[in-house]
A and B are shown apart, each in its own frame.
Chain A
Amino acid sequence: MRAPAIVLLSCSSLGAALAAQPAVPPPDSCVTCHTAVDDATKGPAALIKNDVHIARGLSCADCHGGDRTSDDPDVSMSKAKGFKGKPARTEIPKFCANCHSNPDTMRKFAPRQRVDQYELYQTSVHGKRLAAGDTNVATCIDCHSVHDIRPVKDALSPVHPLHVAETCSRCHSDRQKMAPYRIPTNQFQQYLTSVHWTAMTKRGDLSAPSCASCHGNHGAKPPQVESVAEVCGTCHVLFAQLYDKSVHKAVFSGAGGGGGCMVCHSNHGVQYPSTKMLAGSASVCAGCHEAGSSPANTATQMANWIDGLDGAIQQSETVLARAEKFGMEVSEAQVRLIDARENLVKSRLALHSMRSDDVRQPIDAGMAIAKETLQAGQAALREKDFRRYGLAVSVILIAIAILAIRSLIRRIEANGAQAAQERTL
C-alpha cells in the first residue's frame, strides 16, 4: 500500500514543480540573427541587452514590427508581418510617440511617466526645425541614445542629471554644427565653471540645474528676456519675489533692457555671488551706474554692511573656536551664531529688492547676535585664564602641603629613632 502512495505523491510533486517553473520567454530571432551577421545591423543586437524596453519585456519587433518568432528573414521582416524597418530621421519622434504618447500603452509599463513629450517636442526649436526638414536637429535618439536606452535615473543614461549638459554639448559645443544657426558654442564651458555645476558634482545635488532645467527638455527653447527671472525664480523663489519689487525689474525687462537676473549674474556661467559685485570699479553696478552716483553709493553702502556682518561673524567664530580648542563649553554661543549667519543670508536676499531699509534690518539683527557671541567667546577665554591661574595657585598650595607632611614624617621618624636609641642605651 505504501509504494503506490509514494509514487502518486512523487508524481503530483513533480507536476506541481513543473507548473511552478517560470514561463520560458519566446525565442527572439531578431537578436539571434543580427548577432550572427557581420554588418552594420550587428551593433543594435549587441547594445539591446542594456535597453530598458527589453528589461520591461518588449522586443525589437515591438518598435520595428515583423515576426520575431520566425527564423526565416523573409517571414520575420516581411511587410505582411508589419515590418517597418529603420525609420527615417524625420520620423523618429513619431516612431517613439507611438507608445510614449499613448496613455493606455504607457500605463502598462510606466504608469507615472508623462505622455506629452511628443507634443512638447513639436513646440521646441528642435521639433519645429525637424518639421521644416532640418535633419541636423536633435531627435529622441540623439539625447536618449538608441537600442541601449536606459531609465533617466540610471547613472549611465545620457539624460541622467549628471550627463544632461554633456549630452547637449555634443551638438551645442560643435562649432561646425552650430554655424548655420549662428548660436554660440561656449555654453558648456561656461556651465562647467558655474555654481550650478559645482552644486551638482561637488555637493552631489542632483536637483541643481543643468540645461534642461532652464530651457526645458522635450520642449527645449531659450527663455525669452521677459521670462528669465521667472525661470530662475522657479528655484530662487524669494529672490524672484524681491526682484519683482525692485526698480531693476522694469528696467531690465524693458525694451532697452537686458535679461533679468542674467544682467548681473550671467546665464550659463553663474558664479558664487560676493559683495564685489556691488562695490568697486569692477562691480556689476558700475556697468550702468557712474561711480559717486546715488545708486552706486547705496550699493557700496550695502556691500559694506554685508561685509561688516560677515567679518563680525567670522571674528566670533574664530574666538569661539579658540575657546573650544581650550576645552571651554561654548556650544550655546555656537548655536546662536547660526542665527547670525541666517541674518547674513537674509541680508544678501533682501539686496535683490535694492532697498536699503530691507537690507539694514537683518544686518542689525545679525550684528547684535555676532556681538553677543563674541562676548561669550571672550568670556570663555577669560574663564580659561582664570582656571589656569586657579590651577597654579592650587598646585602651589598642594606642593606646600606635601612638603609640610614630608617634614612632619622626618620629625616623627627622627623622634622615633632617638627614642629607640635611648631605650637601647
Chain B
Amino acid sequence: MPATELKEKTLDWLDERTGWRLVRDLMDHKVVPQHAGTAWYYFGGITLFLVGIQLITGILLLLYYRPTVAEAFDSVRFLMTRVEFGWLIRSIHSWSANLLILCAFIHMFSVVFTHAYRRPRELTWLSGILLLGLMLGFGFSGYLLPWNQISYFATKVGTDVAASMPVAGPAIARFLRGGEDVGGATLTRFFDFHVIILPLVTFGLIGVHLLLVQKHGMSVPSGIPPAKLAQMKFFPNFFLRELMVWYGVLAVLGTLAAIFPWELGEKADPFSSAPAGIRPEWYFLAQFYTLKLIPSHVWFFEGELLGILGFGVLAAVWVLLPFWGAAGTDEKRHRWATGAGVFLVCYLITFTILGYVK
C-alpha cells in the first residue's frame, strides 16, 4: 500500500472516531478582521497563554509546597534555595499571575472601547467578567499561601473588609477564615480554593468563553462597515502572529523573574504587630485607597460599609454594561459606555498610584 494511501486511511479512521476534520474545517474558515484596532485581539490570547503558564508552574510548585502553618513558609524557602530552578518557577508563577490580571483588565477595556460587548455577545462579556473575578480570587487566595508577614496581614485586612459587609459579611469572613481569625484553617481553605475549586470553575468558564468567541467570531468595532473590511485567516496567519507575541511575553516574564525574583519576606508571626504600610496587591489598591479616604461616618452610615456597598452597586452596573439603555440608540449607549470606561481607567490608574505613594 502506498504511503499516501496509508496516510489517508489512517486520517479517515481517526476522523470517523474523533471528527477532527470538523475542527480543521472550523480553523480553515475562521478569519480575523483587519483594522486599526486588530492589536487589541491579541490580549485575549495573551491572557489565555498566561493562564497556561500559571497551570504549568502551579503544578510544579505543588510538588514541594505544603499547606500548613508550620511548613508553608519553609517549603517555599526550600523550593527557592534548594530546588534546582525552584526560584524561577515561583518567580514566573508570581509575575505571570500579575501580568495575567493586567492583561485581563486590558482585554476587558479593549472590549469596552471597541463596543464588542454589544448584541449578540452579551454572554461573552458576562463570562469574561466572571473570569476576571475568578482571576482576582486566584490572586487573593494565592497571596496567602507563602505564609509570610505581608501576605498574612494583607489577608487579615482583606477578610476584615469582607466582614464589614452588611448582613452576610461576618458569615462570609468566618467561612473564608475557617474561624474567627486568619490561621491554619484559613491557609488550608485558601489552598483548596486556589488549586481545586477556582481552577475547576475557571477552566469550565474559559471553555464557555472560547466557545462563544468561536460562535460569534471576532467583533468588529462599531462604526466600521464590515463589507469594506480586510480579513486575515486565523490559522496560520493570526495564530503565528499570536505565537510571536507569546514568545515576547515569555521573554518579559523571564526577564522579570531573573532580575526581580519574587521575594519571600519573613515568616508570618500572628503575634507581631502588622508591618508598617501594609496594603493589598496592586489590583485591589484603588479600592483600598478609596475606602481609606471615606470618613468613618457619612451621615447615618458607617463610612467603610458605605464604600463597600458603593463598590458593589458599581460592579453590578458594570457587569450589566451590554444591557444599558437597551431602548435607546446604539450610538448613545456606546457613548455612555466609552465615557464610563475612560472614567474607570483614569480612576483605577490614579488611585492605584496614590495608594502606593501615600
Which one of B77, B248, B255, B260 contacts A332 once the chains associate, using CB atoms below 8 Å? Answer: B77
CA distance A390 to B264 in the complex (A): 22
Which of B248, B251, B259, B261 has the most chain A CB atoms closer than 10 A to its own CB? B251
CA distance A408 to B240 in the complex (A): 8
Question: In the assembled complex, which residues on chain B have CB atoms less than 8 Å from the CB atom of A328?
Answer: 261
Question: In the assembled complex, which residues on chain B have CB atoms less than 8 Å from the CB atom of A412?
Answer: 236-237, 240
A409 touches B240 (CB 8 A): yes
Query: For residues 239 through 276 of chain B, which have their beta carbon under 8 Å from a beta carbon of chain A?
Result: 240-241, 243-244, 247-248, 250-251, 254-255, 258-261, 263-264, 266
CA distance A328 to B251 in the complex (A): 20
Which of A328, A332, A405 has the most chain B CB atoms closer than 10 A to its own CB? A405
Question: In the assembled complex, which residues on chain A have CB atoms less than 8 Å from the CB atom of B261?
Answer: 327-329, 387
Query: For residues 287 through 332 of chain A, which have their beta carbon under 8 Å from a beta carbon of chain B?
Result: 327-329, 331-332
B87 within 8 A of A: yes
CA distance A342 to B259 in the complex (A): 34
B258 touches A387 (CB 8 A): yes
Contact with A along B21-36 (1 / 0, CB 8 A): 0000000000000000
CA distance A412 to B81 in the complex (A): 46
Q: How many A-B residue pairs have CB under 8 A?
A: 57
Query: For residues 313 through 355 of chain A, which have their beta carbon under 8 Å from a beta carbon of chain B?
Result: 327-329, 331-332
CA distance A413 to B88 in the complex (A): 38
A401 within 8 A of B: yes
A396 to nearest B CB, angstroms?
10
Question: In the assembled complex, which residues on chain B have CB atoms less than 8 Å from the CB atom of A98?
Answer: none
Which one of A331, A332, A402 contacts B247 once the chains associate, using CB atoms below 8 Å? Answer: A402
B80 within 8 A of A: yes
Question: In the assembled complex, which residues on chain A have CB atoms less than 8 Å from the CB atom of B241?
Answer: 409
B259 touches A391 (CB 8 A): yes
A395 touches B255 (CB 8 A): yes
Known: A387-B261, A399-B251. 19 other contacts (CB 8 A): A327-B260, A327-B261, A329-B81, A329-B87, A331-B77, A391-B258, A391-B259, A398-B247, A398-B250, A398-B251, A401-B247, A402-B244, A402-B248, A405-B240, A406-B244, A408-B236, A409-B237, A409-B241, A413-B237
B77 touches A405 (CB 8 A): no
A343 to nearest B CB, angstroms?
23
Which of A328, A388, A394, A398 has the most chain B CB atoms closer than 10 A to its own CB? A398
Query: For residues 372 through 422 of chain A, which have their beta carbon under 8 Å from a beta carbon of chain B?
Result: 387-388, 390-391, 394-395, 398-399, 401-402, 405-406, 408-409, 412-413
Given known contacts A331-B264, A405-B243, A395 and B236 CB-to-CB distance under 8 angstroms? no
Closest to B262 in A: A327
CA distance A329 to B261 in the complex (A): 9
Question: In the assembled complex, which residues on chain A have CB atoms less than 8 Å from the CB atom of B243?
Answer: 405
Question: In the assembled complex, which residues on chain A have CB atoms less than 8 Å from the CB atom of B266?
Answer: 331
B147 to nearest A CB, angstroms?
14
CA distance A395 to B263 in the complex (A): 23
Question: In the assembled complex, which residues on chain B have CB atoms less than 8 Å from the CB atom of A387?
Answer: 88, 258, 261
How many residues of A are in contact with the other chain, CB < 8 A? 21
B254 touches A391 (CB 8 A): yes
CA distance A327 to B257 in the complex (A): 10
Closest to A398 in B: B251
Closest to B242 in A: A405
A388 touches B244 (CB 8 A): no
Q: List 28 A-B contacts (CB under 8 A).
A: A327-B259, A327-B260, A327-B263, A329-B261, A329-B263, A329-B264, A332-B77, A391-B255, A391-B258, A391-B259, A394-B251, A394-B254, A395-B254, A398-B248, A398-B251, A398-B254, A399-B251, A402-B247, A405-B240, A405-B243, A405-B244, A408-B240, A409-B236, A409-B237, A409-B240, A409-B241, A412-B236, A412-B237
Q: Which residues in B have some Cβ–Cβ distance to A below 8 Å? A: 77, 80-81, 87-88, 236-237, 240-241, 243-244, 247-248, 250-251, 254-255, 258-261, 263-264, 266
The 10 closest A-B pairs by CB, nearest first: A391-B258, A327-B261, A387-B258, A398-B251, A329-B80, A409-B240, A405-B244, A402-B244, A402-B247, A398-B247
CA distance A401 to B248 in the complex (A): 10
Question: In the assembled complex, which residues on chain B have CB atoms less than 8 Å from the CB atom of A413?
Answer: 237
Closest to B251 in A: A398
CA distance A254 to B259 in the complex (A): 66
Question: In the assembled complex, which residues on chain B have CB atoms less than 8 Å from the CB atom of A391?
Answer: 254-255, 258-259
CA distance A413 to B34 in the complex (A): 15
Closest to B243 in A: A405
CA distance A388 to B81 in the complex (A): 17
Question: In the assembled complex, which residues on chain B have CB atoms less than 8 Å from the CB atom of A329?
Answer: 77, 80-81, 87, 261, 263-264
B71 to nearest A CB, angstroms?
16
Closest to B250 in A: A398
Question: In the assembled complex, which residues on chain A have CB atoms less than 8 Å from the CB atom of B258?
Answer: 387-388, 390-391
Which of A390, A391, A399, A401 has the most chain B CB atoms closer than 10 A to its own CB? A391
Query: For residues 179 through 229 of chain A, which have their beta carbon under 8 Å from a beta carbon of chain B?
Result: none
Which of A328, A387, A390, A399 has the most chain B CB atoms closer than 10 A to its own CB? A387
CA distance A405 to B244 in the complex (A): 7
Closest to B267 in A: A331
A332 touches B244 (CB 8 A): no
A405 touches B247 (CB 8 A): yes
A55 to nearest B CB, angstroms?
33
Query: For residues 72 through 116 of chain A, which have their beta carbon under 8 Å from a beta carbon of chain B?
Result: none
CA distance A40 to B260 in the complex (A): 74
Question: In the assembled complex, which residues on chain B have CB atoms less than 8 Å from the CB atom of A331?
Answer: 77, 264, 266
A177 to nearest B CB, angstroms?
48
Question: In the assembled complex, which residues on chain B have CB atoms less than 8 Å from the CB atom of A399?
Answer: 251
Question: In the assembled complex, which residues on chain A have CB atoms less than 8 Å from the CB atom of B81?
Answer: 329, 332
CA distance A402 to B247 in the complex (A): 7
Question: In the assembled complex, which residues on chain A have CB atoms less than 8 Å from the CB atom of B254?
Answer: 391, 394-395, 398
CA distance A391 to B244 in the complex (A): 18
